[in-house]
Amino acid sequence: MTIKAGEKIPQATLLKATPEGPQPVDTDSFFAGRKVALFSVPGAFTPTCSARHLPGYVERAGDLKGKGIDEVACVAVNDAFVMQAWGQQAGADGKVTMLADGNGDFAKALGLTMDASKFGMGTRGQRWSAIVEDGVVSALNIEEPGAFSVSGAEHLLGQL
pTM reported for the whole predicted model: 0.93
Q: Note the pLDDT of residue 115.
A: 76
Confidence class for position 90, pLDDT limits 50, 70, 90: very high
What is the mean pLDDT of the segment spanning 34-48? Answer: 90
**Structural domain contains residue 1:** no
Catalytic positions, written as ranges: 49
Total of domains in the chain: 1
Per-residue pLDDT tens over the stretch 100-139 = 999 999 999 999 986 767 776 767 788 999 999 999 999 9
CATH number at residue 38: 3.40.30.10
Residue 132 CB: number of other CB atoms within 10 A?
A: 23
